[in-house]
Amino acid sequence: MSILKSFFHGKTVNCLGLLVFFLCCPGCFGTAGDSVKKIKESGKLTVITDNNPSCFYYYREARAGFEYDLAKAFADYLGVDLEIVTPGWSRLFESLENGNGDLIAAGLTRTPAREKLADFSEEYLAVQQHVVVHKNNRVIKKIGDLQGRKIHIRKGTSYHERLMEMKNDGLDITLVPHEEVPTEELLRQVAEKEIGVTVADSNIALLNRRYYPDLKLAFPIEEQQSLGWAVKKGNRSLLEEINRFFKEIEADGSLGSIYQKYYANAEIFDYVDLKKYHQRLDTRLPRYRKLIQKMARKYGFDWRLIAAVIYQESHFDPGARSPTGVVGLMQLTRDTAEEVGVSNRRDPRQSITGGVKYLKKLYDKYTEAQDPDRMLITLASYNIGRGHVLDARRIAEKRGLNPDSWSALEQVLPLLRFSKYYKKTRYGYCRGTEPVRYVRRILTYYDILKREVITVK
């Protein structure tokens, strides 16, 4: 609009000047839909991102990552194929400017410096920068404690930008910027005491605390900030389409589902439990790993998910017995054991074989649900019984929610604790918060195990 105001400031309009203006600045008027139209006509959306565990990676030869899933959803929204380009973190904006992609989706914080390079979408996730140290560090508790310290950060990040501001304001710190070293790697180095201090966005720091329980988020160094997708300066039509897309997936719950897939309950942290889990992955899991892999393969499951279920049930202890009388690695009831042909519930081979077989029987009953929802509903059924899950599904339908969506059942299952709801159901009272916690813990254990096979290409 500033160009328009200067152009029409005089009372007399120079027609030749106007003609030149329209020819030289076709993007300033009536172009809504042009760049989107080109994408649709080409049948391809090219997204620039970074190859790391927070954006885009390969899991079991399949593409994955929070930003990848969002980009795939946007490509589907446009009705086109998705192509991923990973030029390297330091070349994201250069790649966009050179026309190597339509947009950047790489967990970028909107900062004044970056907004000079590209136009940003509206917020799709809020984050906050935190100083991260080893949990045994008792010295660094506030910004003043950073005086004289060496801080390792990924070069070109918003953390780098913020720390430079703090340094210019008089904070005596030494910055060690790392070229093309993911923040996740620097967090690992802090956890293993290879370096003392780093900085990371809250979503990345909280998630990596699962993998490295010795990490501690000491304090924030910035106000809450927005993550956004970036498009080339002046590409209003694509920017508007992205904003419409974000509003739509927030309204229909898709954004929440993608977030839950990668960051579910990252803020919930039990140091003792996770530390013990990491230890038992080394000391106990190896005894059962081959059998778990064999049975998971037979029934079409990811063996790491089955291992996570077994840990949640018994901590890999074949002699485990609950107060309710369920026994063994997969905590089978007598009735379930008989149903799947298990004669000795304490026998690891029988327990794993029978437990995975039973999971498959439950899974096959939810044919209308799509994964990952289908699997999560199956896990809840394994925990509290299919009957209570059916009751919750009926309540979800009555409340206008999708009974095939795990996010809907997460809301509804806890209602089964109250007589107002369970007295109208077939299977009655249920400790409905229990399956929600159960599934969340399994997802955390599963996520840690998946880390073994996250690859970059």
> Could you list the active site residues?
313
170 exposed, middle or buried (CB, 10 Å; 0-12, 13-18, 19+)?
A: exposed
Spatial contact of 383 and 403, defined as CB atoms under 8 Å apart: no
Amino acid at 441: R
With contact defined as beta carbons under 8 Å apart, do 404 and 368 qualify?
A: yes
- In this structure, are residues 382 and 309 in contact, taking their beta carbons and an 8 Å threshold? yes
Angle between the 254-263 and 236-251 helix axes, to the nearest 10 degrees?
80
Q: Are strands 81-85 and 44-48 parallel, antiparallel or unpaired?
A: parallel
- Measured CA to CA, the distance from residue 228 to residue 78 in angstroms comes to 19
DSSP SS3 for 115: helix
- The dihedral built from the CA positions of residue 335, 336, 339 and 343, taken in this order, carries a sign that is negative
| Signed CA dihedral, 162, 164, 165, 167: sign only | positive
| Class of residue 192 by CB neighbours under 10 A (exposed 0-12, middle 13-18, buried 19+) | exposed
Distance CA 244, CA 374 (A): 28
Tokens representing 443? 């997802």
How far are the Cα atoms of 40, 78, 133, 232, 372 from residue 85, in angstroms, in the given order? 18, 18, 33, 16, 26
Cα–Cα distance measured from residue 441 to residue 437, given in angstroms and rounded to the nearest whole number? 6
Supply the DSSP symbol for 171: -
